Amino acid sequence: MPGITLKISGEPDSELIRSIVPKLTALTCEVLDKRPEQTMVMLQFLPHEHWFIDSRSLAEQGRNSFRLEVTITDETNTKAQKARFQHDAFELLAHEIGNVHPHSNIHVIDCRASAYGYGGLSQEYTLHHP
- Mean model confidence pLDDT for the chain: 95
Q: How confident is the model over 64-121, as pLDDT tens digits?
A: 999 999 999 999 999 999 999 999 999 999 999 999 999 999 999 999 988 888 889 8
Percentage of the residues of the chain whose pLDDT score is greater than 70: 100
Sheet of 3-9, strands arranged across: 40-46, 3-9, 66-73, 105-111
CB–CB of 70/34 below 8 Å? no
Instruction: Read off the pLDDT of each residue in 25-31 and give the average, rounded to a whole number.
Output: 98
Q: How confident is the model over 36-49, as pLDDT tens digits?
A: 999 999 999 999 99
pLDDT at 61: 98
